[in-house]
Structure 1
Amino acid sequence: MSDPGVTDDGHYVVIDGRRWRATDPLIPEQRRTELVHILMAWRREVRRTKGTAQEAASRAGVNAAKVALGERGTPPWWDQTVAQRQARWDAEVTGPDDRVTE
């Protein structure tokens, strides 16, 4: 599998001709790895809960991880200050195994 193309400005990756917002390049590697691990756990949880009442919570977990990575959210990472970007990736993002259940 080859690496996806990146737009000249570095804001997007291009996969199969479609643009997707790139991960914030300022995220420290250790935190990026942690957030990607959480994202992938939530994606597995979406598959597991598909069609159930828990699916919405699983999708919310995916969204939270993608926001922390800078792949979603407003404003985009390139329009944020360094302090705003750091606050975004430092925010607590839990994985499906870290949820508090009642």
Structure 2
Amino acid sequence: MDRTPDGRWIVVDGRRWRAADPEIPDDVHAELLHHLGVARNAVRTSAGDEDAVRRARARVQAAKTGLGERGDPWWEQDADTRTARWTEALRTLGAD
């Protein structure tokens, strides 16, 4: 997996994806990745239960937003906004 020179994107199989915010503390990054993995697994195992799939997809969205991979680009946010983004994601993911 390669990063673009500006560090904003990763390239996988020739396709560009937004990179996670590099300012996220390691422990927070690990926790968000854990939530993302659990949520992705729930999407796969919830087939046939539309409510469960919807909830799992919302958790994927929250984790990816917390990581900075979705929503407003992290490089356009100030430090306080970035911190608030991942703090809110963890609050949301911890509430479920």
TM-score, normalized by length of structure 2? 0.91
The Cα RMSD (Å) is 1.2
Aligned pair count reads 93
Inter-partner Cα distance in structure 2 for 1:68 and 1:50: 25
Return the offset for 1:94: 1.5
The answer to whether the aligner puts 1:28 opposite 2:25 as a matched pair is yes
Q: Indicate which of 10, 13, 16 corresponds to 2:10.
A: 13
CA contact (8 A) 1:68 1:93 kept: no
Q: Indicate which of 47, 53, 64 corresponds to 2:44.
A: 47
Equivalent residue, structure 2, for 1:94:
93
* Structure 1 portions without partners, runs of 5+: none
Inter-partner Cα distance in structure 1 for 2:23 and 2:46: 33
* Structure 2 portions without partners, runs of 5+: none
Which residue identity does 2:32 align to in structure 1?
A: L
Inter-partner Cα distance in structure 2 for 1:89 and 1:25: 12
TM-score, normalized by length of structure 1? 0.86
Equivalent residue, structure 2, for 1:59:
57
Inter-partner Cα distance in structure 1 for 2:18 and 2:49: 29
Stretches of 4+ moved more than 6 A in 1?
Answer: none
Which residue identity does 1:57 align to in structure 2?
A: R
Q: Please give the per-residue CA displacement for 1:20-68, whole angstroms capped at 9, x wherever unaligned.
A: 1000000000000000000000000000112322211111110000000
Which residue identity does 2:63 align to in structure 1?
A: A
State the percentage of identical aligned residues: 46
CA contact (8 A) 1:70 1:76 kept: yes
